[in-house]
Structure 1
Amino acid sequence: MLGALALVITAGVLVWNHVGRSGPPIVQRCIASADAETAAALDPEQAGNAALIAAITTERGLPARALTIALATAMQESKIRNIDYGDRDSLGIFQQRPSQGWGTEEQVQDPHYATNAFYDALVQVDGYQDMEITVAAQEVQRSGFPDAYAQHETLARLFASGLTGYSEASVVCRLGAATEVERAEMPEAVQERLALDLPSLAAEQEEHDGATHLRIDVTPLGGAEPGRSAWAVASWAVMTAELTGVSEVSVAGQQWDRADGANAAWQPVPEDHPAAGDPVGTVRIG
């Protein structure tokens, strides 16, 4: 298996902020925090993959503990990147080996296939929810470095808590502004990604003040309380924003605005915003 060091707080990509004003460059990153002193960060590529893994966790109705194990594993194996190399024939996010029955080379480099394959194995581990993360991960991976998963536990817990909706408003991304082309293509890009990551859901397209918004009702997910599911979906939308061109996400009276750049944080929705009247269980993307 391919070892990897955690990227905590410093992970990111340096880009220029073009939000209609001059300013310092932005280190593009997504941050999950528990408090002012406990936080971890991923760059946009890592964040997009982490969001995908989280969405599959939600779709399958698995607990947040499963996501913590999956993220710690992916961080150790590939830095949560879909790589096309590794130890011996290991490939993909989880460095799965075709020769060991994980699938074909093409399959294990498909993040959706790889994540489901990981979870198919994890759920067969009796009592995995009560195991230490290193033990549960090793039961699935059979790594030559079984204790290495522990170094990513804090990062994995922080992102898992936010991406499953247990920690509201704990996940935020700080990105450069979307281009005009990205904004124009956003509705289609989000719906395509939604169909792959969260196929139980559909986005209804609406127009407001000349801008397109997508409105998502999360109740088809079932299981969790709608409010928690909504935060899980909203966090997914923020974590994939650099890939889909999303500029704002609103949920439960709170809004993330990409235009805030390096200062982006969850803030109250403006009173005149269409999301202000949305019911519980609704996520609005613009």
Structure 2
Amino acid sequence: MATAASARTLTPFSRRHLLLTGTLGLAAAASLSAVAPASAAVLDTETSAETWTEEFLTRAETREGFVLDAMDDWQLENAKFIIAVVKGHELGEEVAVIALITAIVESWLYNYEPAVDADSGGLFQQRPSMGWGSYDEVRHKKHALDAFLGLGEHAQAPGLLQAVSDPATWDAGAAAQTVQASAHPERYAEQIGAAREIWDRFAADVEPYTA
């Protein structure tokens, strides 16, 4: 477990940000992290973020960028949805943190539509060819999250509850890496502070989601 000080140390850099450095150059990519993500599509302000409609669950989200204090409406909805589903499964804060850091690193909390890494897609950049479900299932937020947690009947790949015997006792970064098998395992721990801050801000007001 990270210390209280290190847990609140935030970084805008993630897997997606580092991918950008290869095409834009380090200086240009660094400048992207300092500004809020684009907001070309504005959500209907009368729609509750906790309605969790089928349109929400399957919405393709192709915008990029993650800065904790500049999260747009889509990132906020997705973060709250992760918390809601984890609470619905009665798994608690530590599992939510593991899921959040994974989604931050893999997709910057967007239900990412294009295949960026081979056939990967969705919040957790899951690959159909690796047993995580079909093209549509890895881009369906509830199916993808349940598969990551190890509770998705559609997925053959081992999720968190299969890969880690007691997630609450694990270092969050190590637990995420055990599921994801990333070539850059250190990036998950870098987002623990952001994930815990998200939990602290929203968990008390998010109802469990069990549908």
CA distance, structure 1, for counterparts of residue 118 and residue 77 of structure 2:
26
- Asked if 1:99 corresponds to 2:129, the answer is yes
Residue-by-residue CA offset, 1:138-194 (whole Å, 9 max, x unaligned): 0111111111112211110111233322xx8xx9xxxxxxxxxxxxxxxxxxxxxx9
Q: Alignment identity in percent?
A: 34
Aligned amino acid, residue 104 of structure 2: M
Correspondence for 1:130: 169
CA distance, structure 2, for counterparts of residue 3 and residue 13 of structure 1:
18
Post-superposition, which runs of at least 4 consecutive aligned residues in structure 1 deviate over 3 A?
Answer: 5-15
Q: CA RMSD in A?
A: 3.0
Structure number with higher strand proportion = 1
CA distance, structure 1, for counterparts of residue 16 and residue 93 of structure 2:
23
The Cα of 1:10 is off from its aligned counterpart by: 4.8
2:112–2:121 Cα contact (<8 Å) kept? yes
- Provide the secondary structure at the position in 2 that maps to 1:123: helix
CA distance, structure 1, for counterparts of residue 74 and residue 167 of structure 2:
28
Aligned amino acid, residue 200 of structure 2: S
CA distance, structure 1, for counterparts of residue 69 and residue 171 of structure 2:
20
Aligned amino acid, residue 11 of structure 1: A
Alignment of structure 1 residues 231-270 onto 2, 5 Å: none
1:92–1:108 Cα contact (<8 Å) kept? yes
Correspondence for 1:78: 107
The Cα of 1:13 is off from its aligned counterpart by: 5.2
Greater relative contact order (Cα < 8 A, sep 6+):
2
Correspondence for 2:209: 198
Q: What residue ranges of structure 1 are gaps of 5+ in the alignment?
A: 16-38, 172-193, 201-286
Seen in structure 2, the aligned counterparts of structure 1 residues 8 and 75 have a Cα distance that, compared at 3 Å, is same
Structure-2-length-normalised TM-score: 0.62
2:85–2:210 Cα contact (<8 Å) kept? no
Alignment of structure 1 residues 1-286 onto 2, 5 Å: 3-5=15-17, 10-12=35-37, 40-84=69-113, 85-120=115-150, 121-124=159-162, 125-165=164-204, 198-199=209-210
Aligned amino acid, residue 122 of structure 1: L
2:112–2:123 Cα contact (<8 Å) kept? yes
Q: What residue ranges of structure 2 are gaps of 5+ in the alignment?
A: 1-13, 19-31, 41-67, 151-158
Aligned amino acid, residue 59 of structure 1: G
Seen in structure 2, the aligned counterparts of structure 1 residues 11 and 81 have a Cα distance that, compared at 3 Å, is same
